[in-house]
């Protein structure tokens, strides 16, 4: 099969003019601010209320983002009849409790990635969503960027031939080693696996699915969380994944898929919106995808909200693009990486 010189068109949700929801935000930290800004700037979705344990923090966030109501109690927000869906933006270790709180109150949920601090906790969120009959989705924004829908079609068509290798890594530099910070605190789900590695591990799963075995090496910070690691993920058909994440240095943050008939190389940084190039078996470029929507960088977080609104309007309880089974499967691999490194248990202080 020859590689296509003309690529499929991306599948893009309507950011304006499609179904809309009344959003509530639990835990208005940094990522919640990014989400609120892009949501209001790029879509006609609107955040109607925000809740924090601190009344002052909730009020400040509401003023900054033009939100009508603020609460100093999470229960008050999930009981608000003017809220359709709750965005859970708390630290990883609070995702299970807050998602369950919202679901049991009859609200749909979009839970910041990773959906939970472990695969077991993710399963419990899925069970709570099924019991409540409400929509639940992980906020894995990378899945919803236009280039991923094009790559998905190329893989489904077998454009690269037999898939042999997935490479993906993500690095974050200038992170001070602070035992009290979220990134280094095991009690809050810190470490380079849950916070960063979930992106390249998701990409690996998107292409090859779950590995049958993994080999992992890396280093632990003074708090016991993993601060740098790399893993080889093995599959029964001979395909492998080479995945890495670090909090110790910036990296190119590239991702690539290698097949018998060609390869795809994603532009850096691969979790964000962007383009990719297709190369043939002679390693010559044959086609190029560029994201021409104008939504760049962290503004890409708005698309997951538009997709969630569309899925709910369609009567779905999960996203067919990113079902809960995928979130659970990726966290099973994250659990394996952390266990292989001997990292400090999540939710517990380092010894």
**Residue 161 contacts by C-beta under 8 Å, 6 or more apart in sequence?**
1, 259, 260, 261, 262
In this prediction, residue 224 carries a pLDDT of 96
Q: pLDDT band for position 1 (50/70/90)?
A: low
147 contacts 175 by C-beta, under 8 angstroms: no
CA dist., res. 120 & res. 39, Å (int) = 31
pLDDT given for residue 174 in this prediction: 81
Q: What are the Cα distances from residue 265, in Å, to 22, 90, 139, 170, 280?
A: 38, 33, 24, 15, 11
pTM: 0.96
pLDDT category at 4 given cuts 50, 70, 90 is confident
Q: Is the pLDDT of residue 350 over 70?
A: no
Pairing state between β 108-112 and 136-139:
parallel
Under the banding of pLDDT at 50, 70 and 90, the label for residue 99 is very high
Show the DSSP H helices in 43-137 as ranges. 55-65, 74-78, 95-104, 119-132
| Residue 349 confidence (pLDDT) | 43
- pLDDT at site 80: 98
Q: What are phi and psi of 288, to 5 degrees?
A: -140, 135
Calculate the average pLDDT of the chain. 96
pLDDT band of residue 348 (cuts 50, 70, 90) is: low
Separation CA 91–CA 125 (nearest Å): 15
Q: What is the mean pLDDT of residues 301-322?
A: 98
pLDDT surpasses 70 at 94: yes
Count CA atoms within 13 Å of residue 85 on its CB side. 31
Among 309, 259, 263, 314, smallest CA distance to 284 is for: 263
- State the Cα–Cα distance between residues 280 and 288, nearest whole angstrom: 12
Q: Which residue ranges form the domains of the chain, and what is each CATH number? A: 22-140 (3.40.50.720), 143-341 (3.30.360.10)
Q: For residue 193, give the DSSP letter.
A: I
C-beta separation of 49 from 113 below 8 A: no
pLDDT band at 351 (very low <50, low <70, confident <90, very high): very low
Sequence-distant (6+) residues with CB within 8 A of 287 are 3, 4, 5, 6, 7, 277, 278
Give the range among 166-180, 213-227, 234-248 with minimum mean pLDDT. 166-180
Q: Tell me the per-residue pLDDT of 134-193, one tens digit each, with 9 for 90 and over.
A: 999 999 999 999 999 999 999 999 999 999 999 999 999 988 999 989 999 999 999 999
């Amino acid at each position: 099969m020859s590689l296509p010189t003309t690529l499929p068109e991306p599948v893009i949700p309507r950011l304006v003019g499609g179904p809309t929801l009344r959003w509530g935000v639990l835990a208005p930290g940094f990522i919640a601010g990014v989400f609120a800004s892009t949501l209001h700037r790029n879509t006609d979705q609107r955040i109607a209320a925000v809740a924090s344990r601190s009344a002052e923090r909730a009020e400040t966030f509401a003023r900054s983002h033009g939100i009508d109501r603020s609460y100093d109690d999470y229960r008050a927000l999930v009981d608000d009849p003017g809220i359709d869906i709750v965005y859970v933006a708390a630290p990883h270790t609070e995702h299970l409790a807050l998602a369950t709180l919202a679901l049991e109150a009859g609200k749909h949920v979009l839970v910041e990635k990773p959906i939970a601090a472990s695969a077991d906790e993710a399963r419990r969120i899925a069970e709570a969503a099924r019991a409540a009959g409400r929509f639940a989705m992980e906020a894995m924004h990378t899945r919803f960027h236009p280039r991923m829908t094009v790559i998905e079609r190329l893989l489904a068509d077998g454009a690269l031939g037999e898939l042999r290798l997935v490479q993906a890594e993500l690095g974050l530099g200038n992170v001070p080693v602070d035992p009290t910070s979220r990134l280094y605190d095991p009690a809050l789900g810190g470490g380079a696996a849950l916070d960063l590695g979930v992106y390249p591990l998701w990409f690996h799963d998107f292409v090859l699915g779950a590995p049958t075995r993994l080999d992992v090496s890396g280093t632990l910070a003074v708090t016991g969380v993993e601060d740098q690691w790399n893993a080889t993920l093995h599959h029964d058909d001979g395909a492998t994944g080479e995945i890495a994440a670090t909090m110790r240095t910036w990296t190119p943050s590239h991702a690539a898929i290698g097949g018998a008939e060609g390869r795809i190389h994603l532009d850096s940084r691969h979790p964000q919106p962007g383009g990719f190039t297709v190369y043939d078996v002679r390693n010559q470029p044959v086609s190029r995808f560029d994201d021409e929507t104008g939504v760049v960088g962290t503004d890409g977080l708005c698309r997951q909200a538009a997709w969630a609104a569309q899925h709910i309007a369609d009567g779905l309880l999960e996203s067919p693009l990113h079902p809960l089974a995928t979130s659970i499967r990726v966290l099973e691999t994250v659990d394996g990486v952390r266990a292989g490194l001997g990292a400090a248990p999540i939710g517990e202080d380092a010894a």
